[in-house]
Amino acid sequence: MINRVTLVGRLVRDVELKYTPGGTARAWFNLAVTRNFKNANGERDSDFIECTVWGKSAESFVNFTCKGSLVGIEGQIRTRSYEKDGQKVYASAVSVDSFALLESKAITDARRAGQPVTTAGKDDNVFVAAGNGENIDIADDDLPF
């Protein structure tokens, strides 16, 4: 059986970090992932997916992200159940194995400071935006192939 999840999205809020009685770090967050198609109103809906990351990775994730950060994660879907008002409730979340920070430290620092952040639009080519909109001239003999 295969249980692999790969997601790219934005953090809905700052990541929560707590420790188990044994001292293991646990961070959890919701990731807003925009769907690839438009709804009947011509807008793109988002799914809000609960995620958990453990150990040193959890501490690193908290230190380098904040609300609005663009991240990529890989992991597995995990389910759990609990009793609520006499009813058995089932919940699913992604257990994160690895993550990638998809924005610069400068953007994350600006978000933390509450400063306005401009990012490339969803349809913009981020590689052009990274070059300040200017074409980069690379000679053929600079290429390794």
In this structure, what token pair is assigned to residue 26?
């646990």
Residues 65/39, Cβ–Cβ less than 8 Å? no
Strand partners, 11: 31
Is residue 16 domain-resident? yes
40 assigned to some structural domain: yes
Report d(CA 118, CA 60) in Å as an integer.
Answer: 25
pLDDT at 125: 45
Task: Using a pLDDT cut of 90, give the percent of the chain over it.
Answer: 68
Regarding pTM above 0.85, the answer is: no
Q: Which domain CATH number covers 93? A: 2.40.50.140
Residue 124 has pLDDT above 50, yes or no: no
* 32 within some domain: yes
73: Cβ contacts below 8 Å, ≥ 6 apart:
5, 6, 7, 8, 31, 51, 53, 94, 96, 98, 99, 100
Please, what sign has the CA dihedral across residues 4, 7, 13, 15? positive
- Could you tell me if residue 143 is inside a domain? no
Q: What confidence category does residue 97 fall into, taking pLDDT thresholds of 50, 70 and 90?
A: very high
pLDDT per position as a tens digit, 28-84: 999 999 999 899 999 999 999 999 999 999 999 999 999 999 999 999 999 999 999
In the chain, how many domains are there?
1
Q: Has residue 67 been placed in a domain? A: yes
Q: Could you tell me if residue 12 is inside a domain?
A: yes
The predicted structure's pLDDT at residue 109: 82
Look up the domain containing 36 and give its range. 5-113
CA distance 135 to 145: 21
Please check whether residue 9 lies inside any domain of the structure: yes
Do the domain assignments include residue 97? yes
